[in-house]
């Protein structure tokens, strides 16, 4: 006999017939000898209908009243589902977030769960009842009883948090799709169902998976080791397993207030190779990384910032032992790049051995702007200059001078209240697919700030200002090329924001750069971001090369590149976004057989 938490989304309880079908399914599971807690969303699109009503009265409704209003949607569906269960002789009781003791922060409309006091819920389970819980809602404290909501899509989070608090055997998310697919099936009809995915991969695929599973739910599953399954309400297919890493016993107090950063990671065994002034046209990254992969050299970070004139700089890091090989390959390719008509200047190679990579990692940084800014500020405060930056959804990596490492580690550990994580690599990921899924993000804009003075504190200043305005940024990349502007070395910094935030971001940044010589902000909305994600790409040379080659074959120009251990993202022209997604999906055989062979 198992204790299971099941969550049914809005479409699954969208009509009376569907509610009755869900009731039948629940009853069957109970008859199989299980105890059940069922979390439900509001029926169909009813939350949107409520939002629309409020908007007709107030263009900017107060968040407290919105919580009052939106929390009613779930109250309708729990009562109806409970009635449907009773009607088929399955004892059941519906409870609101407050009644099951879901205590949250006093942050209306985006509250995080602090703790769950499930005594009453457990009492009803012992009575043999199915407990039907309103998702998406909680109360701010046991004294004030203010109704809060967790943010749109938050019922998934309610379900996984309950599973953690009840130490349930597993949690099932029932939805209107068969599970998590390798990519968006509306764009790529060949998208295939994944049998499983790790929590880390799911988090990096946020832009693909967020509609199916709330990232905060994944974060809780990962932190508490909850076995999680996403599956269809309309069938008995097994769906997709979202696999959590093994965890130690973790306190249930401050359940969702886990730190934004789990740990500081440090790697001094890397060296940097930069290839400056390569032509800005399709095929260049592909050629470079193909030649490198042929030598079995595993690349770690790769970055390419926005182009400068008609040329780009590409930089990457490799383990020091392989530096000579990487440098030799890079030198060999440089003359070939001169044959491009626009190569007015010669490509130049820079190699640096005295570097170290320092990173902060943690799922808690999703949806919390300002974590990268805090890292940059912390480094600036101890006088550490950042040479390379590469960010992904759950990680910010910086390349710094190795001599600064001790200071940087101490300052970051202190600032984020964490310790240095032991070096990775103990977990063998070679059996995992190199690429699990691919995602396309079309609602982002690229912002470049040209001629940022190259001294500690500049990135901190820019990104702190954006974070204060609650603007989330992604893919921050600093250029390799350093220009001397009247004695001051300068670099460009480029990054991505949600398209809707781009004008505000520009307005915030403009006053900050006005005293910098020749500095300028360039906004480009006509871009798209394509990402490939897979834990198996660690220690698997050639994945990046294969991705870039797929884009080159379609004649798609890569405008920016950023990587983390399990993700490679490329910014491409917007009108080529879907082509790029399709090319990546088929290059890694995601549509066909499950085994992915990547030519080295
Ligand atoms: N009903 C809420 C929403 O539409 C919560 C949920 O469905 O998860 O966002
Ligand atoms: Mg949902």
| Chain mean pLDDT for the chain | 90
Structure tokens at 349: 């190679």
Q: Is the pLDDT of residue 577 over 90?
A: yes
Q: Please identify, by atom number, the ligand 1 atom nearest to the C-alpha of residue 74.
A: 1
| Phi/psi of residue 12, nearest 5 degrees | -70, -20
Task: Give me the pLDDT at residue 528, please.
Answer: 95
Task: Give me the pLDDT at residue 26, please.
Answer: 97
Task: Give me the pLDDT at residue 592, please.
Answer: 64
For 329, the enclosing helix (H) or strand (E) is: helix 323-337
The CATH class of 3-59+70-93+118-136+156-243 is alpha beta
Ligand 1 pocket residues where CB is under 6 Å: 10, 41-42, 47, 73, 135-136, 152-155
Query: What is the C-alpha radius of gyration for the chain, rounded to an integer number of angstroms?
Result: 25
- 173 CA from centroid of ligand 2 (Å): 9
Inter-residue contact 485 to 517 (CB < 8 Å): yes
Q: Is the pLDDT of residue 596 over 70?
A: no
Task: Give me the pLDDT at residue 427, please.
Answer: 63
Q: Please identify, by atom number, the ligand 1 atom nearest to the C-alpha of residue 214.
A: 8
Q: Is the pLDDT of residue 172 over 70?
A: yes
Task: Give me the pLDDT at residue 343, please.
Answer: 62
Say which residue, 423 or 300, is predicted with more confidence: 300
Q: Is the pLDDT of residue 593 over 80?
A: no
Q: Which ligand is nearest to the CA of 48?
A: 1
Q: Is the pLDDT of residue 442 over 50?
A: yes
- 478 CA from centroid of ligand 1 (Å): 38
Question: Residue 248 — pLDDT band, cuts 50, 70, 90?
Answer: confident
Q: Please identify, by atom number, the ligand 1 atom nearest to the C-alpha of residue 10.
A: 7
Given ligand 1 and candidates 40, 153, 156, which is best to mutate, with the most ligand atoms within 8 Å of its CB?
153
Q: What angle do CA 183, 187, 188 make, to 5 degrees?
A: 60
Which residues are bridge partners to 156 per DSSP?
none
Question: Residue 90 — pLDDT band, cuts 50, 70, 90?
Answer: very high
Task: Give me the pLDDT at residue 561, please.
Answer: 92
Task: Give me the pLDDT at residue 534, please.
Answer: 93
Question: Residue 387 — pLDDT band, cuts 50, 70, 90?
Answer: confident
Q: What angle do CA 449, 454, 457 make, to 5 degrees?
A: 85
Given ligand 1 and candidates 136, 147, 174, which is best to mutate, with the most ligand atoms within 8 Å of its CB?
136
Say which residue, 586 or 591, is predicted with more confidence: 586
- 474 CA from centroid of ligand 1 (Å): 25
CATH 3.40.1160.10 domain locations along the chain: 3-59+70-93+118-136+156-243
Q: Please identify, by atom number, the ligand 1 atom nearest to the C-alpha of residue 158.
A: 8
Q: Is the pLDDT of residue 428 over 80?
A: no
Q: Quick count: other Cβ atoms within 10 Å of Cβ 593? A: 9
Measure the CA–CA gap between 140 and 134, rounded to whole angstroms. 16
Question: Residue 594 — pLDDT band, cuts 50, 70, 90?
Answer: very low
DSSP string, 403-453: GGHHHHHHHHHHHHT--BPPPS--S--TTS-S--EEEEE-SEEEEEEEEEE
Question: Residue 243 — pLDDT band, cuts 50, 70, 90?
Answer: very high
Residue identified by tokens 């309708």 is 76
Task: Give me the pLDDT at residue 277, please.
Answer: 86
Measure the CA–CA gap between 545 and 345, rounded to whole angstroms. 25
Structure tokens at 198: 């790790």
Three-class DSSP category at 336: helix
Least confident of 263-272, 426-435, 510-519, 550-559: 426-435
pLDDT by residue (tens digit) across 329-383? 898 888 877 777 666 677 788 899 999 999 998 877 877 788 999 999 999 999 9
Task: Give me the pLDDT at residue 88, please.
Answer: 98
| Closest residue by Cα to residue 162 from 126, 135, 190 | 135
Mean per-residue pLDDT, 17-29: 97
Residue identified by tokens 């009509």 is 15
Measure the CA–CA gap between 361 and 424, rounded to whole angstroms. 12
Q: Please identify, by atom number, the ligand 1 atom nearest to the C-alpha of residue 45.
A: 4
Expressed in percent and rounded to 5, the helix, strand and coil fractions of the chain are 35, 30, 35
Question: Residue 71 — pLDDT band, cuts 50, 70, 90?
Answer: very high
pLDDT by residue (tens digit) across 5-14? 999 999 999 9
For atom 8 of ligand 1, the residue with the nearest CA is 153
Mean per-residue pLDDT, 513-541: 91
Mean per-residue pLDDT, 487-507: 92
Three-class DSSP category at 510: helix
Structure tokens at 554: 């379609």
Residue identified by tokens 């790049």 is 337
Three-class DSSP category at 521: strand
Q: Is the pLDDT of residue 526 over 90?
A: yes
Mean per-residue pLDDT, 463-489: 87
Task: Give me the pLDDT at residue 3, please.
Answer: 98
Mean per-residue pLDDT, 117-122: 96
- 497 CA from centroid of ligand 1 (Å): 24
Structure tokens at 238: 């097994």
Q: Is the pLDDT of residue 599 over 70?
A: no
| Closest residue by Cα to residue 214 from 132, 152, 139 | 152
Task: Give me the pLDDT at residue 431, please.
Answer: 80
Task: Give me the pLDDT at residue 126, please.
Answer: 96
DSSP string, 296-327: TPPEEEEEE---BTTEEEEEEEEEGGGHHHHH
Task: Give me the pLDDT at residue 76, please.
Answer: 98
| Phi/psi of residue 584, nearest 5 degrees | -65, -45
| pTM recorded for the entire structure | 0.89
Residues with Cβ within 8 Å of 188's Cβ and at least 6 positions away in sequence, in order, are 581, 582, 585, 591
CATH number of the domain at 263-587, out of 3.90.1150.10, 3.40.50.261, 3.40.50.300, 3.30.2130.10?
A: 3.30.2130.10
Inter-residue contact 108 to 148 (CB < 8 Å): yes
Residues with Cβ within 8 Å of 436's Cβ and at least 6 positions away in sequence, in order, are 182, 194, 197, 198, 201, 205, 533, 534, 535, 536
The fraction of the chain above a pLDDT of 90, given in percent, is: 62
Q: Is the pLDDT of residue 598 over 50?
A: no
């Amino acid at each position: 006999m198992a204790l299971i938490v099941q969550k049914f989304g809005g479409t699954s309880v969208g009509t009376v017939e569907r509610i009755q079908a869900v009731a039948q399914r629940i009853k069957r599971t109970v008859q199989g000898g299980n105890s059940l807690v069922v979390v439900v969303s509001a029926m169909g699109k009813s939350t949107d209908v409520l939002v629309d009503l409020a908007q007709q009265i107030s263009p900017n409704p107060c968040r407290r009243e919105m919580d009052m209003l939106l929390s009613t949607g779930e109250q309708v569906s729990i009562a109806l589902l409970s009635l449907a269960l009773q009607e088929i002789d399955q004892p059941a009781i519906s409870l609101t977030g407050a009644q099951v003791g879901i205590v949250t922060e006093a942050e209306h409309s985006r509250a995080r769960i602090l703790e769950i006091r499930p005594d009453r819920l457990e009492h009803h389970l012992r009575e043999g009842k199915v407990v039907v819980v309103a998702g998406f809602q909680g109360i701010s404290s046991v004294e004030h009883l203010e109704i809060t909501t967790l943010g749109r899509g938050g019922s998934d989070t309610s379900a996984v948090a309950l599973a953690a608090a009840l130490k349930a055997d597993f949690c099932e998310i029932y939805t209107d799709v068969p599970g998590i697919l390798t990519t968006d099936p509306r764009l790529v009809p060949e998208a295939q169902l994944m049998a499983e995915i790790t929590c880390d991969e799911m988090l990096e695929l946020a832009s693909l998976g967020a509609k199916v599973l709330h990232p905060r739910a994944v974060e809780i599953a990962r932190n508490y080791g909850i076995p999680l399954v996403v599956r269809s309400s309309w069938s008995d297919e097994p769906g997709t397993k979202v696999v959590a890493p093994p965890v130690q016993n973790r306190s249930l107090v401050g359940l969702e207030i886990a730190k934004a950063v789990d740990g500081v990671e440090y790697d001094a065994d890397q060296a940097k190779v930069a290839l400056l002034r390569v032509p800005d046209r399709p095929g260049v990254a592909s050629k470079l990384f193909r030649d490198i992969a042929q030598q079995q050299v595993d690349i770690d970070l790769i970055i390419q910032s926005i182009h400068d004139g008609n040329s780009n700089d590409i930089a990457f890091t490799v383990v020091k032992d392989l530096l000579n090989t990487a440098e030799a390959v890079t030198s060999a390719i440089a003359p070939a790049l001169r044959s491009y008509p626009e190569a007015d200047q010669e490509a130049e190679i820079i190699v640096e051995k005295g570097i170290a990579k320092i990173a902060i990692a943690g799922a808690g940084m999703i949806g919390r702007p300002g974590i990268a800014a805090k890292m940059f500020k912390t480094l600036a405060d101890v006088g550490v200059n950042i040479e390379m930056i590469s960010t992904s959804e759950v990680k910010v990596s910086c390349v710094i001078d190795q001599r600064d490492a001790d200071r940087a580690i101490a300052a970051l550990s202190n600032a984020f209240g964490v310790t240095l994580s032991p070096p990775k690599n103990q977990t063998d990921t070679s059996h995992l697919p190199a690429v699990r899924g691919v995602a396309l993000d079309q609602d982002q804009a690229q912002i470049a700030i040209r001629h940022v003075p190259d001294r500690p504190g500049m990135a901190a200043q820019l990104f702190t200002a954006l974070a204060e305005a609650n603007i989330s940024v992604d893919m921050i990349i600093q250029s390799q090329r350093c220009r001397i502007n009247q004695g001051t070395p300068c670099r460009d910094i480029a990054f991505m924001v949600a398209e809707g935030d781009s004008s505000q971001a520009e307005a915030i940044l403009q006053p900050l750069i006005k005293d910098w010589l020749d500095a300028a902000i360039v906004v480009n909305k006509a871009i798209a971001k394509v990402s490939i994600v897979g834990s198996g790409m660690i220690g698997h040379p050639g994945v990046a090369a294969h991705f870039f080659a797929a884009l080159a074959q379609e004649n798609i120009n890569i405008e920016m590149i950023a990587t983390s251990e399990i993700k490679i993202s490329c910014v491409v022209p917007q009108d080529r976004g879907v082509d790029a997604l399709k090319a990546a999906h088929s290059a890694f055989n995601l549509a066909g057989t499950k085994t992915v062979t990547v030519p080295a």
